[in-house]
Every structure is written in structure tokens, then in C-alpha cells.
Structure 1
Amino acid sequence: MPVSGSVLVITGSFDPTADLVIEELARRAVPVFRADMAWFPSSLTLAASLEGLGWRGTLATDQRSLDLSNVRSVYYRRPTAPEFPDDMPPEARAVAMAEARRGFGGLLAALPCPWLPPPGRAADAEYKPLQLRVAAEVGLHVPRTLITNDPAAASRFADRLGSPVVYKPFSPIRGTLDGRSVAVYANVLRPDDLPHPDIATTAHLFQEWIPKVHEVRLTVVGDRLFAAEIHAGSAAGHVDWRSDYESLTYRMCDPPAAVGTSVRRLLARLGLNFGAFDFIVSPSGEWWFLEVNPNGQWGFIEQATGLPITAAICDYLEGNRR
């Protein structure tokens, strides 16, 4: 049965994905309080005291307030960091930031309610080496992978595979260069592209290239699975579909039963109740795990396929979980 109380949505001031959830909760007449960590302390006021077994108090803006003892769940999306006055000395700013994280953030973490996803667990799960190891342990197909800052080791890895390898960053890399927006996507390398001296500058991740028919974005909310095939219509999109959204088409699909079992086990091992999984589907029909994003985008998948991901997230936040 759904429980009463407000849903606290913690995200950036501009987040169309969170907007979908807030709009659906409003249609269900579920109270919502939206806040960004960046509003603290200038436009977000916190006052809470420990009385008996729990914290009591309020989180307030100039227009609204939230009774912290009446929070039924927290939807944690992509908040930005607390902001302090421009003229604050750097030393004081560092102290204020640490105190905000441990005080404001710590108080929110102490609320006795479900989080989707739990921020600490989500932060741990961002580490690719961890999720790749756990994926292999729960029975998913995982490409052979090398992490190194040794150009010679990368060359030996490619030679041993005898096939193309893929370089991919550990986290999204976006920025501006000469006034242009740029991003680093997965790249296919031939054995003779290695060794490369730039590999020595930091950690790099290389994987064997798995031939694919298409990819799949599998979104998991609680125990519910929503899978969509992603078909790329360009060479760049075939290597990394994020590099060419305009070429993509989508189709709903059903994951193999064994994959469904394994992804649920993986999320349980990582302590997560949400995950946006990326898989390659090979010509023989095998699903190969690439990564899981503990707070990945899903709005574009719902828009393209009609998969009811927003409704599933709202069900979970409302207290109707299965």
C-alpha cells in the first residue's frame, strides 16, 4: 500500500527527466518538494533537532517548506554543489563546503525513508572496475578488459586479442575547445594504433570489440525491467550510440530470463534499486554487459518507445513497490 507524506526530489534547477516524475506525482496528488543542493545556504534554510528517535524540523525556501518528519521517499537525481558568495576566501569556502556536505547532506541521509537511488551506493557503483567484476560474478557476459597507464601493456593486450579493441573513458568527458562543444566517446583501435604515449598520462580502459547487431538500454526500477533495442544508422553511432542520437531508432524488447535474473542480482550486490544498463547484442543473440549507470537517463527511451518508466519510478516513490 502507498504511504502518506511528501516526496523530496533532489536535483538541479534544470532537469527535464526529474520534471517527468514531478508532473506524474502531481497527477497522483502526491506532495512534492523539489530542491537543489546549490540553493543551500543562500536560498534554502535548514533547521532540525533530534528529539527522541528521529530528526524533526524543516527545509524551506522563500515560498515553501518541507516537514522533514513527513518525507515518504527521496528521488535523488543530479544535484549541483552548494554555492557560496563569490567573495568568500578559498579557505573558508573549503570549510563551508565540507560542513554543508556533512551537515546538510548528512541530515538528509539520516531521514528514515527509501531513496531512489541511495546516493552513497550510487557513488560506489560509478566505479567501472567494481561493476564489471560484479557483472561477471553474477553470470553476465563481460568483454575482456584492461585498465592500465602502461602503453606497452595496452599493446600486448591488443596483440593477444588479435582483433580491434575499444577505448572508453571511465566517466563522461564533455567540455569546450576553441569555443566548440566537444565530448569523448568510445573509439575502436587497431593493434597497430598501440602503444601510444598518451596512455601513460592516466588510467585508461580498453575492451575487446564485440561484434553487434544492436545495443540495448535496460532500465531497472525496483524489480521491474524495461528494455529497448537501440539501432544505430551511422558508423559513429554503431561504435557509440551517444555520439549520434539523430541516427538512432528504438524498439521495445524482452531481456532473456537469465539476463533479468543477473541484473537483479547485480543491483542487489551493489545495494541499488535503480540502474540504466547498456548491453551489446551479438549476431548470435548473446547479451554482453557494458555498464550500469546508477542514475542514468531514461526519458528519451520512454519518449521513443512508450515504456512506462516514469510510472514505475513514481510507484516506487509513492510506496507501491514490487
Structure 2
Amino acid sequence: MLAGRFDPTADLAVEELNRRAVPVFRVDVAQFPVSLALAASLTGNGWRGTLRTDRRSVRLEAVRSVYFRRPKRPQMPRGMSPEARKVAEREARLGFGGLLAALPCPWLSPPGKAADAEHKPLQLRVAVDSGLNVPRTVITNDPNAARDFADSVDGRLVFKPFYPVRGRLEGRNAAVYTSLVEPADLPHPDIATTAHLFQEWIPKAHEVRMTVVGKRVFAAEIHADSDRARIDWRSDYASHVYRVCAPPPEVVAGVHRVLERLGLPYGAFDFAVTPDGEWVFLEVNPSGQYGFIEMATGLPITAAIADYLEGTT
């Protein structure tokens, strides 16, 4: 398992695999090369060797599957010059990362495919190609183009960052969530500073988080009870009420097509469900958290992940 050292989602999978007496070697890529040693040789049967920390080791040829859950980047030894660090980081990525990618076993999810799927323009196009309903969308750094788009949809817009934006601001935790944009606020000169993604606002009866593991689908409605959570439910988890639901068959078929075309065995899909019952695709997260859904609903997502890693599904 390749995961951050403090990752509750990865912890769930480890606990389930331990319960099943399945051996697990968990490591964070950030431990390489300071506290993670690698030694591997190419033989007629492929790569053989070991990964070793000061406490445990694993034989590469014994690895049956890999759970890839947002590990950190390799951390180089202190005291290296910027030039040497840049070279060492690249060598670690291509050498250590490349060796792991060469292991002939299933990944949940393959790092390269997961990285590609993080690109919202790609996943939106694939969702359209897969038959899912997608909001009208524009990507631009032209303030006037944003205004023209607002005129074309004849209503409110939402702005979304392409990647989660979190950090510290004036000593407090801060994050950028999906936000409403009034047409009267456009054009705005800040749009010219970088690429911006705008979509038409979708009226919602509720939202759905659909977690897909292989062929298994787990869907839960998210009913938000605050103004900010109705725009982006991630902004206020305390306001949620969750209900298990059964997605329409055509939506299920569409999400499977999305994952097949992206080359992923796992995806956490977000849908808006309109008051008329239309399901509208918002995004898919190739490494999305699921623990909060499982805890609230009892949906056996961890068991499905363990089944996939064991090769029993």
C-alpha cells in the first residue's frame, strides 16, 4: 500500500485486510530514500528484490496488488543543493516510481491513469462521450468570454477550481470551494490571471456521491441543510443527511463507461439531482475519500476494495 502516513481512508483498508489475515506492507513514497531502502534485480522472471524500512520489508515478487492512496512525493536528504535535489527527485520518480509501475499486478488505481483523470477537462469530455448529462461549461482567461457565457446560460454561474485549494491564510485554515457567480459581477479583471472554469448553476434536490469499485456501485444521497453546503457540500459536512439510493441503470452504465475509458478500477463520482429527477455529472475523483459515506450509511465500500485487492472480484 502506497499512502500518506496519516490517511484515515487508507487506515480502513488496512484494518479490513488485517481482519482477513491478508499481509499488508504500507509505506509512504515520502519515506524514499531517507528511510525506505530499495534493492531490485531484473531476472528472467521480472524484477526481484526488496523494499525495506527499519521495521519491515517486502519482496517485490510477492506483491499481489497495490493500493495507491495519494502518497507524498519523495523527500530528499537535507543539505542537498537545489540543483542536486532536482536531479535526485527526478531519479527517484523514474527509478523508484518506475520500478513499482513495472510490477505485474493490479493497482487501485494506476498512478498515471489517476493523474490523467484529475484533469477536469478530460473527465468532462469523457462523461459526455459516455452518455452522462454534464453542465454547460467554459474554461477561459478572457473576462469578456466569461460574460458572454453568462449571457448564453441566462442565469447564475458557478466557479470551480481545477484542483482542491487548501492552506493557511492569516493563521487560519482556508479552502476554495465551488462558489456562485452573479452575471452582474462579470466581466472581472482577475479572470485574466489564469485559467478559470465556469459552469451553469444546476438547481438541486440533493446531490449523490457514487463510489464505484470495479463493477460494484455504492450510492448515497447527500442532503445539505446550509446555504454554503447546497452550493458545495464539502464546505459543511456537519449539515449533511445521507440516504442510500439506487441510481438509474443508464447512469450506472455511464459511470462504468467513464471508468473504462479512463482506465480506472475506482472512482468517487459526484452528481447533482435536479427537482425533476435528472442526474447531472459534476466530477469524478480517482482517489476520492469514501470513509464518511461508509460510516454514515453502512455501505460496504472498504470490503469491496479489499475484495479487489485480494483478487476475489
Instruction: Verify same fold: TM over 0.5.
Output: yes
1:242 aligns with 2:263: no
Query: Residue 305 of structure 1 corresponds to which residue in structure 2?
Result: 297
Candidates 166, 169, 175, aligned match of 2:161? 169
- Of 17, 26, 33, which residue of structure 1 is paired with 2:25? 33
1:136 counterpart letter in structure 2: V
Post-superposition CA distance 1:94-144 (Å, at most 9, x none): 010000000000000000000000110000000100100110111100000
Partner of 1:82: 74
Alpha-carbon separation, structure 1, partners of 2:183 and 2:152: 9
The CA distance in 2 between the partners of 1:138 and 1:177, in whole Å, is 40
Q: Match for residue 119 of structure 1? A: 111
Unaligned runs of 5+ in 1: 1-8
Deviation (angstroms), 1:78: 1.0
The letter of the residue matching 1:179 is G
CA–CA distance in structure 1, aligned partners of residues 119 and 103 of structure 2 = 26
How far has the Cα of 1:62 moved from its partner?
1.1
Q: How far apart are 1:87 and its partner, in Å?
A: 1.0
1:214 partnered with 2:206: yes
1:44 to 36, 51, 54: 36
The offset of 1:211, in angstroms, is 0.6
In the alignment, is residue 97 of structure 1 matched against residue 89 of structure 2?
yes
Query: Which residue of the other structure, out of 62, 66, 83, is the alignment partner of 2:58?
Result: 66
* TM-fit CA distance, 1:85: 2.1
Q: Which amino acid aligns with 1:248?
A: H
Alignment RMSD, CA only? Answer: 0.6
Q: What letter is aligned with 2:102?
A: A
Partner of residue 215, structure 2: 223
Q: 129, 133, 148: which one pairs with 1:137?
A: 129
Q: How far did 1:209 drift?
A: 0.5
Residue 4 (structure 1) aligns with: none
Q: State whether structure 2 residue 260 is matched by structure 1 residue 268.
A: yes
Which of 147, 151, 154 is the equivalent residue of 1:159?
A: 151
Could you give the per-residue CA deviations for residues 185-228 of structure 1, whole angstroms, max 9, x where no partner exists? 11111111111000000000000001110000000000000000
**Partner residue in 1 for 2:308:** 316
Runs of 4+ residues over 2 Å off in structure 1: none
Unaligned runs of 5+ in 2: none
1:33-65 Cα distance to aligned partner (Å, 9 max, x none): 001111111111000000113000000011111
What residue identity is the alignment partner of 2:184?
D
The one-letter amino acid of 1:122's match is: A
SS of 1:103's partner is helix
In structure 1, C-alpha distance between the alignment counterparts of 2:69 and 2:199, rounded to whole Å: 29
Q: TM-score, normalised by structure 1?
A: 0.96
Give me the whole-angstrom Cα distance separating, in 1, the residues matched to 2:179 and 2:91.
41
**SS across alignment from 2:25:** strand
Percent of aligned pairs with the same residue? 69
Cα distance in 2 for residues equivalent to 1:53 and 1:69: 9
Structure 2 residue identity aligned to 1:237:
A
Between stretches 124-133 and 80-89, larger displacement belongs to: 80-89
CA distance in 2, matches of 1:177, 1:30: 43
Alignment correspondent of 1:205: 197
Shift of 1:180: 1.0
Q: Distance in 1 between matches of 2:89 and 2:242?
A: 42
**TM-score w.r.t. structure 2 length?**
0.99
Q: How many aligned positions are there? A: 313
Equivalent position amino acid for 1:89 in 2: S
